[in-house]
Amino acid sequence: MDLFLQLLLNGFVNGSHYALLGVGFGLIFGTTNIVHFAYGPVYAAGAYSAWTAAALLGFPLFLAGLTGVAAATVLGVASYLLLYRPFVRRDAPTFVVLIASLGLFILLENLIAILFGTDKKVVDGYSAGIHFIGPTFYTDIHIYQIASLMILGLALAAFLRLTNYGKAIQAMTDNADMARVIGIDTNKVSILVFAIGSAISAVPAVLILLRDGALPNMGFIAVFVAFLAVVVGGVGSILGAVLGGFLLGMVENVGMWQIPTEWQSTIAFIVLFFVLLVRPQGLFKGT
């Protein structure tokens, strides 16, 4: 029972982490239809910028985190303006944009390795408090992971529902052509979602920096998981991305309760296949 409770908590925490990654990626993908693989290295750049601010420039942690968010936002928007937009303007087919995105992924990941080196970057002097509730353990970082999902998730939902730009995003996600017809500047909206999506991804990035340290290839698993969460949850649905992320987190943890952990990665894929087989549009895609 002890094990089960710990796994349940782990599932919830990891699920929050994956959910938030999915939300950022899903916002970009759902609105612009761009499979932004470079989301991974942009996430990593957020972590590395925060590390630079904290470890090299001596910023206090919170400020370093903001630096990471700012850096990721700038890099994300730049990738849209300089790489994706020219393709979109020429009506390039989706897979061409996908390949361009992969190219950007490789370029940025290697750039990070060249600039920062391949050793692990950690923020010295940060030590997360360890707590336990009953027989289960958790740390401060875990709390931040859950909290950041709740805060950012709710903020995003409010933004989408209540503000003009939020409604424009919803419209463009639903039907980009119609959005143009009613006068929405889809270029501006694209820039906006790339900014928000990248900013959101930087928060888990900074938390992972504090929890595990940063490596140049940390972006790969992030975009991989984000992509899975969005596909499972349903493209275009923020709630879907959140639930997709939680499902993944739960399967990875609670799913291993009686199954050897050797199967951890395999199980995630089996679940993905199963979901797509039964409901290819994702669990929460609407009508």
Sites for another protein among residues 76-95 (CB under 8 A): none
Phi, psi of 279 (to 5 degrees): -145, 80
CB 51 within 8 A of CB 63: no
**C-beta of 73 vs 228, nearer to another protein:** 228
Q: Does residue 175 interact with another protein by CB under 8 A?
A: yes
Q: Does residue 109 interact with another protein by CB under 8 A?
A: no
Sites for another protein among residues 231-260 (CB under 8 A): 236, 252-253, 256, 260
Stretch of residues binding another protein (CB under 8 A), selected from 36-44, 72-80, 180-188, 270-278: 180-188
CA dihedral sign, ordered 278, 284, 168, 66: negative
**C-beta of 78 vs 114, nearer to another protein:** 114
The first and second tokens of residue 26, run together, are: 């899903």
Q: Does residue 163 interact with another protein by CB under 8 A?
A: no
Query: Per-residue contact track with another protein, 189 to 228, x per CB under 8 A?
Result: -------------------x---xx-x-xx--x-------
138: exposed, middle or buried (Cβ count in 10 Å: 0-12, 13-18, 19+): buried
Q: How would you classify residue 279: left for phi > 0, otherwise alpha for psi between -120 and 50, otherwise beta?
A: beta
Sites for another protein among residues 1-60 (CB under 8 A): 2-3, 6-7, 10, 13-14
Q: Does residue 113 interact with another protein by CB under 8 A?
A: yes
Q: Does residue 170 interact with another protein by CB under 8 A?
A: yes
Phi, psi of 125 (to 5 degrees): 80, 0
CA atoms of 216 and 202, how far apart (whole Å) = 15
Stretch of residues binding another protein (CB under 8 A), selected from 64-72, 100-108, 113-121, 192-200: 113-121
**C-beta of 73 vs 248, nearer to another protein:** 248
Please work out, in degrees rounded to the nearest 5, the angle formed at the alpha carbon of residue 239 by the alpha carbons of 231 and 267: 40
